[in-house]
Structure formats: structure tokens, C-alpha cells
Amino acid sequence: MKIDPNHLHMLAAIIDSGGLSEGAIALNKSQPSLSRTVAMLEARLGSRLFEKGKRPLRPTELCQSLADQGRIILHASEAARQVAELYSGGKAGTARISGTPIFMDGVISNMIATFQGAFPEIAIHQTYGYLGDLTEQLNVGNVDLAICPVCPDTVPEGLSFKPILPGRNVIACAPSHPLARKSAIKLEDIAPYPWIAPPAGSPLYEDLRSALARIGIKDFKVSFTGGSLASIISILAGSESLTVLPYSVVFMQSNTKNVTALPVRLEHPSRELGVLWRDDRPIRPAVLRFRKYLESEFSGLAKRIEEKGRNIVWRN
Amino acid sequence: MKIDPNHLHMLAAIIDSGGLSEGAIALNKSQPSLSRTVAMLEARLGSRLFEKGKRPLRPTELCQSLADQGRIILHASEAARQVAELYSGGKAGTARISGTPIFMDGVISNMIATFQGAFPEIAIHQTYGYLGDLTEQLNVGNVDLAICPVCPDTVPEGLSFKPILPGRNVIACAPSHPLARKSAIKLEDIAPYPWIAPPAGSPLYEDLRSALARIGIKDFKVSFTGGSLASIISILAGSESLTVLPYSVVFMQSNTKNVTALPVRLEHPSRELGVLWRDDRPIRPAVLRFRKYLESEFSGLAKRIEEKGRNIVWRN
DNA sequence: CTATCTTCATAACATGAAGGTATATTGATT
DNA sequence: AATCAATATACCTTCATGTTATGAAGATAG
């Protein structure tokens, strides 16, 4: 004999509020409705649920046991309501994001931290990839948002793109680096130092190669490669190596005084750091909220970067 | 926005069985029914529950969360069903019993032990009392069954009575007692020994007094009084005291060799040990089962007592 | 003990949520 | 492209549940 969860919930409400009438009020129903349901249950169970002819309604032992389950059900139902509400409001859920490693580590991770401070019920699943993978992952549906530098003219078919920062790259080194103190750097100055190469296949790597080629350096010395941002920064700090990083990443590190940018303008294809997503499929509220958050954070960040950049003379 | 527990349960069933059609089978409903409910929920929640246009039906994150609650609800509902079933079958619940202390301790406690071995979900609440209290407690409704010696002609108004054993009392002593070895005991032999008096107010006490008076002993020496069965048996074992006990209590102790009965017939009002209850109010299944159990156990016990009793010559 | 108050039970009716069957639609598969 | 299997839709039906009105019964106070 199956018992309707709603009925169990009703029993709990009746007991907890101390009577049919009170229970009816608590449940927003009429008293006869409860009365009838109780009678029906008693008939089906073959046992009384409330002692007969007792006016302060006294629940039977069986009724107590059933009401216990009813309370569990009530609780679960309430939890579901809450989940649904949070979810719809974009305050709970999951956002699956993916992006270029250096930028995710160097900039986005900070924002995720503050975001999760505000919305602890939103889980972020992060992966790494470059434009090709990202497009694929978005199309397949494994990822909700991709964050990477994109040439605005060549946004992949079927994706929306929202730029968040200019994708300018710079030459980075430790603040203690000999070049860091020079006010005017000539390109020849750069030549002697070893390089930390960004992951092969990344735009950064291409930029490093082409920039150096432009200076005339074809065979540059790569002292380290394959590491993620954390390794790169450690190695920069402990050596005289140079590397190429998005300026925003260097900027975010500025308070830790681990990395600095050389005031040299690197020529590279114009790109915008931005967010990619598929607009043709429904965007979950939590994802939308995260995207909006990124956009607003970055508009602030872009302003701060802009202000600081004005004081620097970038040479070619 | 309140969510119907049944709907949550449905989501769980759909996910767990892997599709609408399978879920429908699991829930004993038609596929369109589930389809429609899901659609309705999606409309009300404002979010999809299953990804659109994916044929192996893929539940949304939200749907998973809701289904989690649905499983909790399913579980609670199932538990309720089980409780109700056990209860109705008299395999779960509570029986509140009360009875005369010596008999409860000496005979009933054993039976409760085996009973609870068979029906661990039935809780027994035991209290003590004599006929007056017991009647009162039964009438008030604090107790479901009373067990005590009753003169069958004077069953209190409004109570049913079922005899389970002849209420015969005997003089009891330690097996090491000087009288225990005598094959023929004269009443004068008894006079010198001190007595352990059963609780004042108990029928046993009355029986002791009147039996001794009949022998001619008016002033008997009471060496101990007020104790429950455990104390009485200890003291009997360590002294030459005598006492009066229901023969069934002595019989139940026979395997421990702590107590023996003197082959002397005690004159006392004819009583039957039995079970009292109010038949005008509904008997809970667990109580009924316990009562039936008592009756069947006692019919076996009565037979064993009878057999053993035949070998003994009871003198007056 | 009676009068009165409160609370529960019952009756009669209304309605809508949910179920069923038949069938169209749409991903998946070959 | 054709076929298959699973889901969505349309339409009808029914029964659980809700409502209001009212009767019955336990509790309470004078």
C-alpha cells in the first residue's frame, strides 16, 4: 500500500500545529479537507491515526511514525523549492568555463575567487584550451563559456563573442632584472637573455616567435618551456629570463612584485580577450550571472590598466 | 513556488530508469503522463529539466538537484509504507503492559524476552500495579494490558479477562532449606522459620497471612519485606526464610535451582492469573499480537506445570 | 447539570490535476 | 533516405481534493 507523500506531510502539519483547524491554516486548506483525508487514511491503513473521541487531538503511535516521515518529506520539498529558486535566480548551479591557461590562471582565477565569495552555491568547473579546442567544446556542449584572445574579425561561426580586454602582450621579467631598471630599452639589449617559452601552440608562443623575428632574432634561447603560470613566475623571479605574457596578467601580479613588464611594444595580430559562448542554446542562469560578472569586473580592470598604462612610454 | 513531492519523486524515477518510457513503467503510469508533467514543471520553473533535443534524455543540473530530493522523498515514503505495514500486521508498535510485580518479574519478563526476539520492532512499556491500579490504568488508557490474578467472578466492570494460568500460591524456600528435604511436612514444622513478606497490599501478602492464621500462627516473624522478586530470591537462597510465591514463579526458577516449593497446599481464594483489557476500545495490532503470544506461551507453560505437578503429593 | 463554546465530522457540490488512448513529431541509426 | 524508437501533443475522463454549509460531540464554565 503506497502512501502519498502529501498525506504524510499533512499528518506532520496536523500534529505540529496541534489540531485539524490549526493544521488547515498552516497548510492553507480548509479543515474539512484535512478531516476527510485523515479519515480516508485511517480507513486504508486499518488503524486509527488519532485517538477517537479525544478533543485535544491525540495522535496515535502509528501517526507519529508516519508524521516523522512527513517531516522528512516536508524538508526535502522545501530544499527543492530553495534549490529551484536559487537556480532560477542564477544564484546556484554550475558554470563550466574553459580558457587559455595563462590568462585563466593569471586573471580569471582571481575573479572566480571573489565571485564565489558572493555566490557560494555556484560551482565553477574550469578546464584549459586554446581557440580550436574551445570552439569544439562549446559546440559539443561540454563547456558553457570560453575565455580567450580572439581576432574580432574571425569569431568562429555560431559563437557569440564579447570582448573584455584588449589582448595586448608584453615582454615580462623579474623586477630585479637588469633590463627592468633601464628607462629606455633598445631591442639589442634584449637579445642576450634566455626565454621562457609559453606553451607551444598558444598564441603567446606565436607572438614571442614573430616578435623576436621582427627584431632580427631567429634563434632565441629557450631555457624553460611547458610550465603553467605559477612555474613561469617562479622561474622569472629567480633568473634573468624573459617571457611574453598578456599585459593584464602582469598587471594582476603587480601587487605581488613578482613580475614587471618591459616598456617595449610587441607587434602581434590585434586580438581581444573576450568571452565566447553559443547563443543558440539556453544559457543557464548561473552561467549568465557569471558572464555578467566577468564583464563588469573586466570593465573595471580595463579602466585601471588604462590609467596605469598612460604613465608608461611604450617603445617599438 | 511550492513543488509537489510527487513530482520530485517522478524526476528521480525518470533519471534513475533512464527515460520517460522506462520511468513510466517504473511508476506504473503512461509515458505521456510523465512527459506532460515534466513539461508543466519546466514551464513553472522557467528552466529546462532535460536538455532539449537530446534523445538519450539528459537531465539538467537543476533536474539532478531536484531528483536528489525526490529520492529522499521516495525513501521516506517507502519507510512510511513499511512502518504502516509492520504496524498493521502487529509487527511494530508499542504495547503498554502492567501487572503484579512478582509475576511480571518472575514469569512475564521471560516471555517478553523471547517475544522481542521474534518482534524486535515492538516496544514493551512495563509498569507494576495491583488489581485496583490496573483497572484504573486500563480505564484511563495508560495501559493496554494488565496481567494479574483475578477471582473470575469479580472481573471489574467493563474489562475483558482471559485466564492464562491457575493462580495457585505455594510456600517457597531455598533448595538447601531443612524443610526442602523432608518428604512429609507437618504444619508445625513450618512455624519456627522467619518469613519474607510479599509487598503489603498484594494478594500474596493476604494469602500468607490467612494461610498462617489457618494453621494457627497469628504472630509470624517477618524478617524481610518490601523487596521485589530479585531480592526475595537472593534472600531465600542465603537464609532459612520462607515465603509465598505463585507456583508458576517458582516453576520458572526451577532451572536455576534457587527456589523450591514445599509440597504443602495453601488455602486461598480461588484466583486465575490472566490478562485484562478493555474490549470496548480498539486494540492495536501489536498489543493484540502480544496478548496472543502470552496466551499461547502460557498454554504451553500450564501444560508443563501440570505434568510436573502430578508427581508431587500436595498435603494440606 | 446545563449552557455554551470550540473543534471535528459529514454532506453536497465544484474543479482541476493527472491519468489514459491515439497519434503526431523528432532524434537516432542503418 | 528510410526506418525505428522515444518523446510530445491532443483530447477525453475521472477522481482526488478543495469549498461551503451544517451537524455532532467533547470540553468548559457557571
Distance CA B179, CA B260 (A): 10
Instruction: Count helices and strands (H / E) in chain A.
Output: 13, 10
Residues A279 and A150 in one domain: yes
Residues B160 and B199 in one domain: no
Count of CB atoms situated within 10 Å of the CB of A71: 17
Kindly determine whether residue B8 and residue A80, on different chains, have CB atoms separated by under 8 Å.
yes
Position A280 pLDDT exceeds 80: no
Whole-number pLDDT of residue A147? 95
Residues B219 and B231 in one domain: yes
B103 grid coordinates: 509475576
Distance A19 CA to C4 C1' (A): 21
Residue B92 phi/psi, 5° resolution?
Answer: -145, 155
**Angular region, B8: left φ>0, alpha ψ -120 to 50, beta rest:** alpha
Distance CA A205, CA A244 (A): 8
Residues A65 and A190 in one domain: no
* CA A169 to chain CA centroid, nearest Å: 24
Q: Is B62 on the interface with A (CB under 8 A)?
A: yes
- Mean pLDDT of chain A, nearest integer: 89
Distance B38 CA to D4 C1' (A): 24
Residues B149 and B291 in one domain: yes
Domain of A47: which CATH number? Answer: 1.10.10.10
Residues B123 and B203 in one domain: no
Residue of A nearest to B283 (CA): A47
* Bridge-based pairing state of the strands A195-197 and A222-225: parallel
Residue B294's identity, in one-letter code, is L
Provide the pLDDT confidence category of residue B316 given band limits of 50, 70 and 90.
Answer: low
The count of residues in chain B is 316
Average pLDDT, integer, range A290-316: 85
Residue B109 phi/psi, 5° resolution?
Answer: -55, -40
Residue B313's identity, in one-letter code, is V
Kindly determine whether residue B76 and residue A6, on different chains, have CB atoms separated by under 8 Å.
no
Q: What is the DSSP letter of A96?
A: E
pLDDT in tens, A1-24: 789 999 999 999 999 998 899 999
Kindly determine whether residue A81 and residue B2, on different chains, have CB atoms separated by under 8 Å.
yes
Residue A28 phi/psi, 5° resolution?
Answer: 60, 45
Provide the pLDDT confidence category of residue B315 given band limits of 50, 70 and 90.
Answer: low
The answer to whether residue A211 is domain-embedded is yes
Q: Is B46 on the interface with A (CB under 8 A)?
A: yes
Residues B104 and B244 in one domain: no
pLDDT in tens, A197-253: 988 778 888 888 888 887 777 778 888 988 889 999 999 988 999 999 999 999 999
> Which chain B residues touch A70 with a CB distance below 8 Å?
76, 80
Distance B55 CA to C29 C1' (A): 12
Distance A92 CA to C17 C1' (A): 30
Whole-number pLDDT of residue B40? 92
Whole-number pLDDT of residue B54? 78
Residue B99's identity, in one-letter code, is G
Whole-number pLDDT of residue A215? 74
* CA A31 to chain CA centroid, nearest Å: 49
The answer to whether residue A268 is domain-embedded is no
Residue of A nearest to B76 (CA): A69
Position A315 pLDDT exceeds 70: no
The residue written with cell numbers 474539512 in the block is: A32
Distance CA A191, CA A170 (A): 15
* CA A154 to chain CA centroid, nearest Å: 25
Residue A57 phi/psi, 5° resolution?
Answer: -45, 120
Kindly determine whether residue B5 and residue A9, on different chains, have CB atoms separated by under 8 Å.
yes
Whole-number pLDDT of residue A316? 64
Shortest distance, CA A76 to any CA of chain B (angstroms)? 5
Domain boundary pick from B63, B88, B113 = B88
Residues B48 and B60 in one domain: yes
The answer to whether residue A315 is domain-embedded is no
Distance A192 CA to C12 C1' (A): 99
Distance CA A269, CA A168 (A): 9
Identify, with chain letter, the residue nearest to nucleotide C19 (CA–C1'). B33
The answer to whether residue B267 is domain-embedded is no
The answer to whether residue A203 is domain-embedded is yes
Identify, with chain letter, the residue nearest to nucleotide C18 (CA–C1'). B33
Distance CA A128, CA A101 (A): 5
pLDDT in tens, B211-260: 888 777 777 888 898 888 999 999 998 899 999 999 999 999 988 888 99
Residue B164 phi/psi, 5° resolution?
Answer: -125, -20
Distance CA A62, CA A75 (A): 20
Provide the pLDDT confidence category of residue A74 given band limits of 50, 70 and 90.
Answer: very high
Residues B78 and B124 in one domain: no
pLDDT in tens, B254-284: 888 889 999 888 888 888 999 999 877 778 8
Q: By the 8 A CB rule, do B171 and B154 touch? A: no
Which SS3 state, helix, strand or coil, does residue A61 take? Answer: helix
Distance CA B38, CA B20 (A): 9
**Touching B: A residues 85-104, CB under 8 Å:** 85, 87-88, 92-94
**Angular region, A311: left φ>0, alpha ψ -120 to 50, beta rest:** alpha
Average pLDDT, integer, range A146-155: 91
Kindly determine whether residue A69 and residue B46, on different chains, have CB atoms separated by under 8 Å.
no
How large a percentage of chain B has pLDDT more than 70?
99
Residues A161 and A294 in one domain: yes
Residues 25-84 of A with CB under 7 A from strand D: 28-30, 32-33, 36-37, 40, 53-56
Tell me the β-bridge partners of A170: A245
A175 grid coordinates: 623586477
CA angle A295, A298, A302 (to 5 degrees): 140
Domain of A192: which CATH number? Answer: 3.40.190.10
- Mean pLDDT of chain B, nearest integer: 89
The answer to whether residue A175 is domain-embedded is yes
Whole-number pLDDT of residue A217? 77
What total number of domains does chain A contain?
A: 3
pLDDT in tens, A108-139: 999 999 999 999 999 999 999 999 889 888 88
Whole-number pLDDT of residue A71? 95
Query: Residue A155 sits in which domain range?
Result: 93-165+273-310
Residues B252 and B178 in one domain: yes
